[in-house]
Homo-oligomer: A and B are copies of this chain.
Amino acid sequence: MSNYKAPVKDILFATRHLADLEGITALPGYEDATHDLLEAILQEAAKIGEEVLDPLNKVGDIQGSSLNNGEVKTPDGWKEAYSTFIEGGWNGLPFSPDRGGQGLPWLVATAVQEIWHSSNMAFGLCSLLTQAAIEAIELHGTEDQKTDYLANLIHGNWSGTMNLTEPHCGSDLAMIKTQAVSNGDHYLITGQKIYITYGDHDMVDNIVHLVLARLPDAPSGTKGISLFIVPKFLRDENGNWTSRNDIETISLEHKLGIHGSPTAVLGYGTGKYRKQKGAVGYLVGEENQGMTYMFTMMNIARLAVGIQGNGVAERAYQQAAWFAGDRIQGTAIDNPQGDRVAIINHPDVKRMLMLQKCRIEGLRSLGLILGGSFDKSLKSEDPETRELAQAMVDVLTPIVKSYMTELGLENVSIALQVHGGMGFIEETGAAQYYRDQRITPIYEGTNGIQALDLIGRKLLRDQGHISRAVISFIRADIQNVHQPELKNMKDQITASLDLLESSIASILVMASEDIRKPAGICDPYLRLWGTICCGWQLARAAGAALTLDDGNDPFYPAKIETARFYFAYEMPKANYHASVIQNGATSIAELDISLFEVAG
């Protein structure tokens, strides 16, 4: 098994030359986030990822987290690694310095995050969830709540969770049954929540659960859901957080992957820890506004899951490239009488590696663009910049979440395939990435939900207004790829954007005829966007590389080759997806479900 090496140079290149680091540094409050600082941060993060987290990834897979007598134990070494992680201030990177955070832009946080998820995705999940909890409290909590929770969450000696899913409701949160009853200054929560990532564990002193629940008199559906802070430990009479709340860890799920990350079933108000049944919870913001608050957090969490998908793919790719360089098998196809060669020399193996490489690099840059768009949407002083940045956030979030995880999944499978028979043997390590990665297209909103979001909220709702704004931006931006050698790439992007616009026009017509029709082709619609966005980034990367190339660094010609490969092997998919959008309109809406019965 190979050791992970953080691709610092490529992350830096993408952040600086493709994701407009300079523009982010110009935002108020982010003046210190210079290229030099970012480089220093990434080098430090690389050390922790390579030396601390990567060696624990396999331990986590093999041991998993376990539940004994109601307490969850993380794998050997994880607790110590977590201490190292939070002592370095990594948990609070993008949060307010007033509460102990580093006050760095989301762009920087995004750049750093990839390293955690590459080196140990199951470990990285803990701080991903904490980050979401911090967001919720920062944006919607009272001043007292901020004082009570933020410093510890930002430091990381407390962690956070998101409690949405119940046994009977996943994507459809309107069906939530968990109850919250007012009881003086707090509420009493009863119900069962499932799939709670890091729902309990031993790396922190307290766990702050953010729980969706329903008040007795709440309107039905999503308009009757409220958000509560429900800590594992409450304040005791001395003001110390030692009093166990009524939250029981009922079980941990036996999962396909990310075994190190404890996925808990939590019982609220089972009476295990307190006489008065009901877990003590504190309302966040106003009653019945829980879904709205949840959505504000989701964008950041969805970006993070996209980064995970690409991060795991990077790790798997490195393992595959290492294996292919090491494994001697067969002679060169143009020299059959020659010596045996490493399989990395075989054209079809090169193809498999290049496919992973070009996707990972293009999507890395896209994720960073989205990270930077968060910053601009929140901090820019120019309203037009903010508006465009918000359109980018709205449109790119479902694409980044879905396409980075969808291709991430394909990539880890290709990485496994490079190993031949050894890929199927668990000791080799490639199989773990194949198992771990399988969750990323599912959680934080399945990729189907993302595609519906892209075609529904982000296209039909405003008749294509923000989608077309993003398209116009890409159209203008691709003109900056001015080198004649890259004209073909620029032309392909422009032609694909034409296809995308005509697809949008068709979809708007379809929707006016039968709303089921767009829903039947939301998947190829998202893929069309993804294919174009990834190509857009790679063309820009090739342009920047051509400008920077002084003949001394193979990094730049490699960038150009990588883009060239993408445009030869991947970019033609744009036409395919556009064809499906055209054809699909009539083929799915009316299908009767009896079609899926098996005739014995």
A447 at the interface (CB under 8 A from B): yes
| 5 A-B pairs (CB sep. < 8 Å) | A256-B426, A347-B589, A417-B441, A561-B595, A568-B586
Name the contact of A351 in the complex, choosing from B5, B431, B520, B600 (C-beta under 8 A). Answer: B520
Mask of A434-471 contacts with B, CB within 8 angstroms, 1/0: 11001101110011100110000000000000000000
Mask of A566-590 contacts with B, CB within 8 angstroms, 1/0: 0111001101100110011011110
Find out whether the CB atom of A568 lies under 8 angstroms from the CB atom of B596: no
A482 at the interface (CB under 8 A from B): no
A353 at the interface (CB under 8 A from B): yes
CB distance from A498 to the nearest CB of B (A): 17
Query: How long is the Cα–Cα vector from A421 to B442 in the complex, in angstroms?
Result: 6
A334 at the interface (CB under 8 A from B): yes
A555 at the interface (CB under 8 A from B): yes
CB distance from A583 to the nearest CB of B (A): 4
**A591-B350 contact in complex given A417-B442, A568-B580, C-beta closer than 8 Å:** yes
Q: Count residues of A near B (Cβ-Cβ below 8 Å).
A: 109
Contacts of A589 in B (CB 8 A): 347
Interface of A: prevailing SS: helix
Name the contact of A596 in the complex, choosing from B321, B567, B596 (C-beta under 8 A). Answer: B321
Name the contact of A165 in the complex, choosing from B421, B447, B562 (C-beta under 8 A). Answer: B421
CB distance from A89 to the nearest CB of B (A): 22
Name the contact of A195 in the complex, choosing from B421, B516, B583 (C-beta under 8 A). Answer: B421
A599 at the interface (CB under 8 A from B): yes
Query: How long is the Cα–Cα vector from A255 to B426 in the complex, in angstroms?
Result: 5
Find out whether the CB atom of A171 lies under 8 angstroms from the CB atom of B564: no
Contacts of A476 in B (CB 8 A): none
Q: Which segment of A6-14, A185-193, A271-279, A297-305 sits at the interface?
A: A6-14
Find out whether the CB atom of A580 lies under 8 angstroms from the CB atom of B572: yes
Find out whether the CB atom of B561 lies under 8 angstroms from the CB atom of A591: yes
Contacts of A565 in B (CB 8 A): 587-588, 591
Find out whether the CB atom of B596 lies under 8 angstroms from the CB atom of A175: no
Contacts of A443 in B (CB 8 A): 421
Query: How long is the Cα–Cα vector from A558 to B334 in the complex, in angstroms?
Result: 49
A425 at the interface (CB under 8 A from B): yes
Find out whether the CB atom of A555 lies under 8 angstroms from the CB atom of B599: yes
CB distance from A421 to the nearest CB of B (A): 5
Find out whether the CB atom of B442 lies under 8 angstroms from the CB atom of A348: no
Mask of A404-423 contacts with B, CB within 8 angstroms, 1/0: 00000100010011001101
Find out whether the CB atom of A580 lies under 8 angstroms from the CB atom of B576: no
Query: How long is the Cα–Cα vector from A515 to B426 in the complex, in angstroms?
Result: 36
A147 at the interface (CB under 8 A from B): no
Find out whether the CB atom of B520 lies under 8 angstroms from the CB atom of A596: no
Find out whether the CB atom of A413 lies under 8 angstroms from the CB atom of B421: no
Find out whether the CB atom of B431 lies under 8 angstroms from the CB atom of A256: yes
Find out whether the CB atom of A599 lies under 8 angstroms from the CB atom of B409: no
CB within 8 Å of B: which of A223-257?
253-257
CB distance from A368 to the nearest CB of B (A): 17
Contacts of A351 in B (CB 8 A): 520-521, 523, 584, 588
Find out whether the CB atom of B434 lies under 8 angstroms from the CB atom of A417: no
**A519-B333 contact in complex given A7-B599, A425-B253, A600-B6, C-beta closer than 8 Å:** yes
Find out whether the CB atom of B583 lies under 8 angstroms from the CB atom of A567: yes
Find out whether the CB atom of B255 lies under 8 angstroms from the CB atom of A346: no
A427 at the interface (CB under 8 A from B): yes
Name the contact of A435 in the complex, choosing from B10, B256, B421, B558 (C-beta under 8 A). Answer: B256
A349 at the interface (CB under 8 A from B): yes
Contacts of A329 in B (CB 8 A): 169-172, 175
CB distance from A274 to the nearest CB of B (A): 29
A24 at the interface (CB under 8 A from B): no
In the complex formed, the residue of B with least CB distance to A522 is: B348
Q: Which 6 A-B pairs have the closest CB atoms?
A: A568-B583, A9-B599, A572-B579, A347-B519, A347-B520, A256-B431
A289 at the interface (CB under 8 A from B): no
Name the contact of A569 in the complex, choosing from B257, B318, B575, B587 (C-beta under 8 A). Answer: B587
Query: How long is the Cα–Cα vector from A8 to B598 in the complex, in angstroms?
Result: 9
A424 at the interface (CB under 8 A from B): yes
Contacts of A554 in B (CB 8 A): 594-595
Find out whether the CB atom of B348 lies under 8 angstroms from the CB atom of A558: no
**A349-B600 contact in complex given A256-B434, A588-B565, C-beta closer than 8 Å:** no
A533 at the interface (CB under 8 A from B): no
Find out whether the CB atom of B599 lies under 8 angstroms from the CB atom of A520: no
A344 at the interface (CB under 8 A from B): yes
A345 at the interface (CB under 8 A from B): yes
Name the contact of A562 in the complex, choosing from B256, B353, B595 (C-beta under 8 A). Answer: B595
Find out whether the CB atom of B448 lies under 8 angstroms from the CB atom of A424: no
A111 at the interface (CB under 8 A from B): no
Find out whether the CB atom of B596 lies under 8 angstroms from the CB atom of A353: yes
CB within 8 Å of B: which of A25-58?
46
In the complex formed, the residue of B with least CB distance to A7 is: B598
Name the contact of A334 in the complex, choosing from B9, B334, B413, B516 (C-beta under 8 A). Answer: B516
CB within 8 Å of B: which of A352-367?
352-354, 357
Find out whether the CB atom of B348 lies under 8 angstroms from the CB atom of A598: no
**A424-B255 contact in complex given A329-B169, A330-B171, A347-B520, C-beta closer than 8 Å:** yes
